[in-house]
Amino acid sequence: MGDGGAVDDPADVPGRVEIGEMSPAMRSALLEVLIHGELPRAEIARRLHLSRASLTRITRALVDAGLLAEGETRLMAQTGRPSELLSLRADARHFLGVKLTGDTLYAVVTDLAATIVASTERPLRSREVADVVAEIAETSRAFATEFPGLTSIGIAIAGRVSRARDAAVVERSAFLDWTDVPLGALVREETGLPCVVENDVQALTATEHWFGAGAGIDDMALVTVGVGIGCGLVVNGRPVEGAHSRAGQLSHLIVDEGGPPCGLGHRGCVSSLLVNGSIVAAYGRPDVDYAGVVAAARGGDVRASRVFADAGRALGVMIATVANLVDPRKIVLTGDGIAVVELAGDALRSAVDERLDEDAAPVDLDVRTWDFSEWARAGAGLAIRALLA
């Protein structure tokens, strides 16, 4: 299990509970099945250091709450005794996930396993806080006709988010031109639903850790490439936030001191070579956007291929730096600029090999396809984690 450890035997377990009312032991049992899939009762008891009697009481309450389902009986190899299999009732709860960009609201509904069951996108009427909150509320009400009783809302947003007790404040979001917006409280007031807000990369990292490429892994990293560069870390089963919630800031790591300047004046940093806008600027052809540079490189354009090779080297240096620093079991690579792997894979791998410490383990790089609904799913995953972790 990603977040947890030994738990005490509960003295009493109610027959019917909501997720927010669970004891730590009940949450831990549900998490084992949520993250690892169908498991025998005896195996869950072993992992949580619970007696069989205590585990039976806990799982009975979870079954009665409609969160777990009982299945067939399997013989346990360790003891030779039969043990009943328990599986997740993923459709028992639904969550709204939202991703906000500077001009669009992406939204999904997921089940308890963070599987998308419905999605939509709509242009923002404006970037005014009140208008955005109203659109989130409208989206919630629209989905509620098909999924009554949505459990909670999770919002992923590019920018810096601080979290105090029962509050989430968007300290800064350049795309929306927001400063110190108490978005979580505003959405909760407008919808009546619990709401959690997080930086989009951190939300995606947490969701991949429980529900994606990192499921069952205690040490992983996630790197996103595209309009911006992001890095999220999970160490010893827990997302790394840092003392000021700003861990993973690698977009200005210097790759080539003679390279082009970024918007902050740094020469040859990752941002100046790898983000979509930098790739367009380096190609330097009027009226050609990022998709156009990708198409040119795929068509054999030498200039476009050279630009992507530089981007691939920058990404390789960043990946090797992450691997040297935290020794993850896996590095997940994704984002709307993922074409760099296709177009500059050789340059990327050469840079990784060059910069990786000689004693480091080989990098397990898991490249994921991408669309914007994944950001919204990360919001829903965030809501699930906030409820259960």
**pLDDT tens-digit readout, 258-284:** 999 998 999 999 999 999 999 999 999
Give the pLDDT score at 371: 84
| Opening angle at CA 214, ends 208 and 218, nearest 5 | 120
Say if residues 234 and 216 touch (Cβ distance below 8 Å). no
- Poorest-confidence range of 9-13, 155-159, 318-322, 376-380? 9-13
Q: Using the predicted structure, report yes or no on whether residue 2 has a pLDDT greater than 50.
A: no
- Phi, psi (5° rounding) for residue 296? -65, -45
Say if residues 378 and 204 touch (Cβ distance below 8 Å). yes
How far apart, in whole angstroms, are the C-alpha atoms of residue 267 and residue 58? 58
How far apart, in whole angstroms, are the C-alpha atoms of residue 272 and residue 284? 14
pLDDT per position as a tens digit, 168-212: 899 999 999 999 999 999 999 999 999 999 999 999 999 999 999
13-17 contacts, C-beta under 8 A, 24 or more apart = 13/57, 13/58, 13/60, 13/61, 14/61, 15/60, 15/61, 15/64, 16/61, 16/64, 16/65, 17/61, 17/65
Would you call 170 helix, strand, or coil by DSSP?
strand
Q: What is the mean pLDDT of residues 64-79?
A: 75
Q: Using the predicted structure, report yes or no on whether residue 115 has a pLDDT greater than 70.
A: yes
Domains of the chain listed by start with CATH number: 19-91 (1.10.10.10), 93-205+374-388 (3.30.420.40), 217-366 (3.30.420.40)
Q: Per DSSP, what are the bridge partners of residue 221?
A: 233, 331
Give the pLDDT score at 23: 86
Beta strand 116-123 with 104-111 is: antiparallel
Give the pLDDT score at 389: 75
Report residue 123 as tokens: 């242009």
How far apart, in whole angstroms, are the C-alpha atoms of residue 265 and residue 220? 31
Residue matched to tokens 């949450």: 27
Give the pLDDT score at 94: 95
Report the predicted TM-score, pTM, of the whole model to 2 decimal places. Answer: 0.87
The confidence band for 74, taking pLDDT boundaries of 50, 70 and 90, is low
Query: What are the helix (H) ranges across the chain?
Result: 24-36, 41-48, 52-64, 129-144, 183-191, 200-211, 270-274, 276-283, 290-298, 302-326, 339-355, 373-388
Distances 159 to 94, 155, 173, 197 between C-alpha atoms, Å: 26, 12, 4, 11
* Average pLDDT score, the chain: 90
Range with the largest mean pLDDT of 10-24, 40-54, 119-133, 235-249: 119-133
Q: Using the predicted structure, report yes or no on whether residue 13 has a pLDDT greater than 50.
A: no
How far apart, in whole angstroms, are the C-alpha atoms of residue 119 and residue 177? 26
Say if residues 316 and 348 touch (Cβ distance below 8 Å). yes
The confidence band for 15, taking pLDDT boundaries of 50, 70 and 90, is very low
